[in-house]
Amino acid sequence: MTAEAIKLVRQHLDQVHPAEVLDDATRADYRARIKALLVSRDAVLVAHYYTDPEIQSLAEETGGCVSDSLEMARFGKEHPAKLLIVAGVRFMGETSKILSPEKRVFMPTLEATCSLDIGCPPEEFSDFCDQHPDRTVVVYANTSAAVKARADWVVTSSIAVELIDHLDQRGEKILWAPDQHLGAYVQKQTGADVLCWDGACIVHEEFKARGVLELKKLHPDAAVLVHPESPASVVDVADVVGSTSQLIKAAAELPHQTLIVATDRGIFYKMQQLAPGKTLLEAPTAGSGATCQSCAHCPWMAMNGLENLLAVLEDENGCGQEIQVDESVRVAAMQPLNRMLEFSRSLKG
Ligand code: 13P
Ligand code: SF4
């Protein structure tokens, strides 16, 4: 996406969903009501690291989960609650529904999507696959259920290198979608034959290597942590490249006291918890003359707030924010998703 297109997306989303500002009393009241409703509705809150700290802390305090997209999928599937409240973006809610069809899945808002999902329409993607029948189709979790249904494998960034390496060793050629930067990164790490779709994340694509290096000059002892959805030039200046959970682990384990972080700043909540006392700096996204130094926040993740979370819990049918997936699509998408979960279990084993 061009810088102009990104600006327009942000402006539109800011108008439609202005940031939630609540006074202390309202905030405390909402939190108490959400906690009570989670119990009375036999529900559990599953939140991504990029959501507002308000949401992440609620998930922690109520026995829910705060994690990366892979763990969110696993947690929702294994948890006994009848109702999953997924705070994140739409593909995360869909993944939960695909893996747990017997559960109802609500999201604070179904409008929370992802530029990678938007940039990979199922029909065009299916045509692309048809043009390359000799390739194993691997899609990133950040895709619609219909795109997953067309894939041989689903993968998240936490196991992408390992999976592509595994397929390469079996002699398979890969068709990768939708994130071109993550695709280029796994290709470089594994040497596999990877043909990439040309999608991108509007948040990570904005990080600038030059800005990171300038910040590093001011903090020469800092380590640079980068999510692989960032452009190759930014990945090249990283000390650690990894998924959200891998970056959090690195923040806690590295000896460095200062960390420059190139991913959504929502992750600072968990990093600060696990690496107390360390200084966390947002990697710059802005070129010279820009009005913000770093716009490293996913506008769709930011749509998850206390107000809409409370509203979906109060309404029997989740204010219409319930995830529905067509049954034939669900069954087809479940296979590559289960392969991913099985592969990740084998890595742990
Ligand atoms: P993770 O799979 O690391 O949670 O990342 C999801 C995502 O949307 C990154 O932008
Ligand atoms: Fe999608 Fe990027 Fe937002 Fe992650 S940060 S959900 S990849 S738009």
Identify the CA nearest to 88 among candidates 216, 230, 240, 244: 244
What ligand 1 atom has the least distance to the C-alpha of 142?
8
71 lines ligand 1 (CB under 6 A): no
Mean of pLDDT values over 191-216: 96
Place 285 in a pLDDT band, splitting at 50, 70 and 90. confident
Residues 6+ apart with CB under 8 A from 180: 196, 197, 198, 199, 200
**Which amino acid would we find at residue 248?**
I
What ligand 2 atom has the least distance to the C-alpha of 263?
5
Is 108:312 a contact under the CB 8 Å cutoff?
yes
At residue 246, the pLDDT reads 96
Q: Work out the burial of residue 118: count CB atoms within 10 Å of its CB; fewer than 13 is exposed, 13-18 middle, 19 or more buried.
A: middle
Q: Which of 179, 207, 264 to mutate to test the pocket of ligand 2 (most atoms within 8 A of CB)?
A: 264
Domains of the chain: 3-115+300-323 (3.40.50.10800), 117-201+330-348 (3.40.50.10800), 204-282 (3.40.50.10800)
Identify the CA nearest to 15 among candidates 260, 237, 299: 299
At residue 221, the pLDDT reads 97
**Which amino acid would we find at residue 121?**
P
Q: Atom 2 (ligand 2): residue with closest C-alpha? A: 201
In this structure, of 150-164, 277-291, 318-332, the range with the lowest mean pLDDT score is 277-291
Q: Which ligand is nearest to the CA of 301?
A: 2
Per residue in 52-71, pLDDT tens? Answer: 999 999 999 999 999 998 89
Per residue in 77-95, pLDDT tens? Answer: 999 999 999 999 999 999 9
- Give 117 Cα–ligand 2 centroid separation in angstroms: 9
Radius of gyration of the chain (CA): 20
In Å, how far are 143, 150, 260, 265 from 333, measured between CA atoms? Answer: 11, 7, 37, 31
67/47 Cα distance (integer angstroms): 7
Mean of pLDDT values over 14-40: 86
Q: Work out the burial of residue 165: count CB atoms within 10 Å of its CB; fewer than 13 is exposed, 13-18 middle, 19 or more buried.
A: middle
**DSSP per-residue string spanning 73-96:** HHHHHH---SEEEEES-HHHHHHH
203 lines ligand 2 (CB under 6 A): yes
Higher pLDDT pick, 4 / 222 = 222
115 lines ligand 2 (CB under 6 A): yes
